[in-house]
Amino acid sequence: MNIVKAVKYCLLLATSVVLAANVQAQDKVGTTAAAFLSISSGAKATAMGGAYVAIADDGSSMFWNPAGMAQLENNTVTFSNMNWFLDSQIQDASVVINGGNLGNFALSVRAIDHGEIEVRTIEIPEGTGEVFTPTNLAVAVSYSRFITDQFSIGANTKFVQEKIWNESATGFAVDLGVFYRTDFKNLRIGMSMTNFGNEMKMSGDDLRQAIDIDESINGNNDRLEGYLGTDSWPMPLLFKVGVAIDALDIESHKVELAIDAKHPSDNSESIDLGIEYGFNDLLFLRGGYRSLFSTQIEDQGLTAGFGLKYDFNGIGANFGATYMTHEYLEDPILWTLQIDF
């Protein structure tokens, strides 16, 4: 019972901190680079409103809390796809290798497919006939291990790149996480810090410009080589703490509840809520609410999804699909396929 009281106290404290912080919250949206790192990953996690830092038990675990990856008992291959605005697609892929007593190792990739964009200039606004493809890419190497039977740690190291036309920005970041589970109703507590890295700055050949220092003087050199300056921006640093518990686990029925409190560097503090009902470890129904108390209404919204799980002669297959509401853009749909072997 002491554990239950402690969890209630932590949740009350987290909610109070979020509400108090948002009283004086300032608009920090658009103050970071590589914002695509903050977009949700994995059908289960997304359907549960992003309340996943204390669960993190599938192929998307390194995105939410790398320490949770230690729970995976098999080798795992996972692929996810989400339709995003303007016909773009967000794609995630990961491979997790179970190293036994050495811990678990993983390689993951996130990329956004924007398709081809036609080049238009001031001189030729109808299009030059050329096309280009913007790039948003993150590649991570992960490691996680149980230090005791109940406590695990984990980390990601990430290479991040954004590119548009001939300009690009490159960064390196780390994610850190801890995970603790108890014997009381499978109560779990998780914490993570993600996207801690250097600032990113766009550079490239198109920033070189011919400059006339003083246009009022005739005969001076009006083709001096200049370079347009760009600002450096930090990555979207995020701190999360969460609690998850099996509220019901009898025979063929299981109900899992989760709540996360998050503190992003580019937005206001908020709460994520999630629930999953599982039947016979085969069919799963999920729901959630993301970014409760956020000052950005477009970040808030309901989430819902389902999952299917089946074993084929020792090879596990997991499929999930998720629907999210969005205030202004087309409602995204995400699906995930995971193979365990």
Q: What is the mean pLDDT of each run of 10 residues along the chain (341 residues)?
A: 44 44 53 92 97 97 98 97 89 97 97 90 86 94 97 98 93 98 96 96 85 72 77 94 96 96 91 97 97 78 96 94 85 95 94
pLDDT tens by residue, 206-262: 888 877 776 777 767 767 777 788 889 999 999 999 999 999 999 899 999 999 999
Ordered by where they begin, the domains of the chain are 2-199+234-340 (2.40.160.60)
- 8 Å CB contact between 174 and 197: yes
CA 110 – CA 60 distance, rounded (Å): 11
pLDDT of residue 6: 42
Please report the beta strands in 187-332, taking only residues with DSSP state E, as ranges in sequence order.
Answer: 188-197, 200-201, 203-204, 208-211, 224-227, 232-233, 238-250, 253-264, 270-279, 283-292, 301-312, 315-324
246 contact partners, CB below 8 Å, separation of at least 6: 185, 186, 254, 255, 256
pLDDT of residue 91: 97
pLDDT tens by residue, 49-75: 999 999 999 999 999 999 999 999 999
Task: Kindly state the helix (H) or strand (E) to which residue 64 belongs, with its residue range.
Answer: helix 61-64
- 8 Å CB contact between 44 and 57: no
DSSP 277: E
**SS3 of 315, please?**
strand
**SS3 of 38, please?**
helix
pLDDT of residue 326: 80
Q: Which pair of structure tokens corresponds to residue 44?
A: 């289960």
Per the DSSP assignment, residues forming a β-bridge with 303 are 288, 324
pLDDT of residue 298: 67
- 8 Å CB contact between 255 and 231: no
Give the predicted TM-score (pTM) of the model: 0.85
pLDDT of residue 22: 46
Which value, to the nearest 10 degrees, does the dihedral of the CA atoms of residues 114, 120, 126, 131 take? Answer: -50
